Amino acid sequence: MANIHQRKIDIIVYALCLSAVIGMFICAVALLNQLPEQIPAQYGLLGKINGYGSRNSIFAMPGVLLVLLVTLIIVGMFPAAWNLPGVEVTDANAPYLAVCVRNMLDVMLLVITATLTTLFVCQVRNTNAPPFIFPLMLVVFLVNVIVCIVRTKHIGRSFLETPVEEPDREQEQEQ
């Protein structure tokens, strides 16, 4: 599968996520000296604080988000490296599969960004995270992956069916 150019929606998603990273770094720098010595650094499945770290751990959320953002952008740039089990990638179906997988990556980036930004705000405010944040993130991730799998299988099957060639009408009239 050849490398496929970035779509406008991909660029918009990357810009939104990068804006969140930059905003979190700016807030972390601006608020660092105002934070208590210990801030929440770990949250349980239902959003309760279950671990504390130094105030410098405020840089963890934007740092993790930046690494994930760069990683998923790089993965999205090289569709030839994607492993789509059970689907034969051909020149004909490659663009359709690329759109499907890129949509999945975009949703993942947006969900990760929303989750880590929420956790960052909770760290700054020294509060528990909303109890629904992790279960919601897991459900959205799972549904997103299932939709992508179903769509890639459908795309793979639709390109396996070979169309019947229409007979040449001029040759039939000559005979």
Question: Model confidence over 106-159: pLDDT tens digits?
Answer: 999 999 999 999 999 999 999 999 999 999 999 999 999 999 989 988 887 777
Residue 136 lies in a domain: yes
In this predicted structure, what is the pLDDT of residue 160? 64
Q: Which long-range contacts does 167-175 make (Cβ < 8 Å, 24+ apart)?
A: none
Residue 169 lies in a domain: no
Considering 66-70, 86-90, 101-105, 163-167, the range whose residues carry the highest mean pLDDT is 66-70
In this predicted structure, what is the pLDDT of residue 89? 79
Task: Give residue 12's domain range.
Answer: 8-159
Residue 167 lies in a domain: no
Residue 83 lies in a domain: yes
pLDDT band at 173; cut points 50, 70, 90: low
Residue 128 lies in a domain: yes
What type of residue is 29? V
Structure tokens at 77: 């740039």
Q: Which residues pair with 42 in a beta bridge?
A: 51
Q: Which residues pair with 52 in a beta bridge?
A: 40
User: pLDDT for 25-72, tens place per residue?
Assistant: 999 999 999 999 999 999 999 999 999 999 999 999 999 999 999 998
Q: Residues 80-102, buried b or exposed e (16+ Cβ, 10 A)?
A: eebebeebebeeebbebbbbbbb
Residue 152 lies in a domain: yes
What type of residue is 70? V
Residue 88 lies in a domain: yes
In this predicted structure, what is the pLDDT of residue 6? 75
DSSP 8-state symbol, 47: S
> What is the domain count for the chain?
1
What type of residue is 110? L
